[in-house]
Structure 1
């Protein structure tokens, strides 16, 4: 046994147990965020109770409040963990993109499909649409943390195409909605009619996005670019 163990009076077994407790404690925020995401998507923000989140994460309610003092703060942390905290990474990815602007649009929509639409995080968008009016503070937070940076990223892509001559002159501000609308439709279908009656609302996400992208590009691309592809 080392001198340090003799001085503090800890046995090797005690040190191992303490280490395990510390690792479990460090893991709790992630467990809580996972549990909260599941419950927010399943039940909505208003119907989700803090004690339910704690129970699903396997911790006490007191532990939950230690990390997230209010349900609102918990929700904000869920949004940052799954969506808004990734915009810096996504902007760097587009800074390094070497392809055409049309390929950038394709990559943007495909990346959104794989990283958001096909994941549990897609339910956050549906939740905000359905409950924003009742929780204006969370709506303002979502606007600042998700909608504004997402719109800015799409504007960058469209402006790149216009500046390079690949896209025709556009109203960039309004044209961003042309890309956003198909995304929102897919999410709403997935978490509403598609969830209740999937056999009646069969929609292949990959095929849907591919078709929407090509339709969009047919309208975005300058005439010379379209003709060059024929």
Structure 2
């Protein structure tokens, strides 16, 4: 009797699953590494733990990534620095005002990085960069400098269009970055165990920061108090 078209060969099915598993391994390893780096930090995360969580051997991990440092770099590129290309493209074709562009950039950063597990990498770097200068330098080149340049371009656009007053761009960049870093640090430290009375609403916080950046604390035409 001929086999039904719905009958499958167990051996072939098992082989197909192994092939799919093999193809998926790099992504699974990166996901497992991100989980563990955020949970335990860079120093405390061991390669064999990453491999075990991904369901492969330690040897398989090193087929894809030559060291824990290279694995960490791949995690950063996959989850953070690899996004700069899309942000650059979006801002290049942005047709709204610079105020709208700045608001969009802050909100999209939170949606794509800040509210995800990848935001824990910021806390990791704040606590461990001094002990691992190689990954600190990598993070500086891959994330910090491109991020600063992106924000600088937005602010410069506003100045050139007459939408923003002339600013000290070197320091104004930090006024945009600081609230976002605060939110990520809060999310992965105090915020993780804060009582309900201390609950922070990220979207409301970001909206407030945008308002402060664009309009300040003083009323229209009210002078800023001089420094004592």
Tell whether the structures are fold-level matches, with TM greater than 0.5.
yes
**Whose helix fraction is larger, Structure 1's or Structure 2's?**
1
Structure 1 position 145, deviation (Å): 0.2
| Corresponding residue of 1:7 | none
User: Which of 125, 130, 135 is 2:127 aligned to?
Assistant: 130
CA RMSD, Structure 1 to Structure 2 (Å):
1.8
Aligned pair 1:163/2:186, yes or no?
Answer: no
2:19 alignment counterpart:
22
| Structure 1: runs of 5 or more not aligned | 1-11, 225-230
Deviation at 1:163, TM superposition (A): 0.3
Once the 2 structures are TM-superposed, how far is the Cα of residue 89 of structure 1 from its aligned partner? 1.0
Distance in 2 (alpha carbons) for counterparts of 1:198 and 1:29: 38
Structure 2: distance between partners of 1:118 and 1:87:
17
Shift in Å at residue 19 of structure 1? 3.5
Q: TM-score with structure 2 length normalisation?
A: 0.88
* 1:16 CA drift (Å): 5.0
Once the 2 structures are TM-superposed, how far is the Cα of residue 86 of structure 1 from its aligned partner?
1.2
Instruction: State the 1:195 CA deviation.
Output: 1.3
Counterpart CA distance in 2 for 1:200 and 1:30 is 38
Q: Are 1:44 and 1:127, in contact at CA under 8 Å, matched by a contact in 2?
A: yes
Find 2:59's aligned residue among 62, 69, 94: 62
Alignment of 1:33-182 (within 5 A): 33-182=30-179
* 1:125-169 CA distance string (max 9 Å, x none): 110001001101100000000001101100110000000000000
SS of equivalent residue, structure 1 residue 77: helix
| Structure 2 unpaired stretches of 5+ | 1-8, 222-228
CA distance in 1, matches of 2:170, 2:125: 22
> 2:190 aligned with 1:207, yes or no?
no
Residue 216 (str. 1) matches residue 216 (str. 2): no
Q: Give the TM-score, by structure 1 length.
A: 0.87
**Aligned match for 2:183, one of 163, 181, 186:** 186
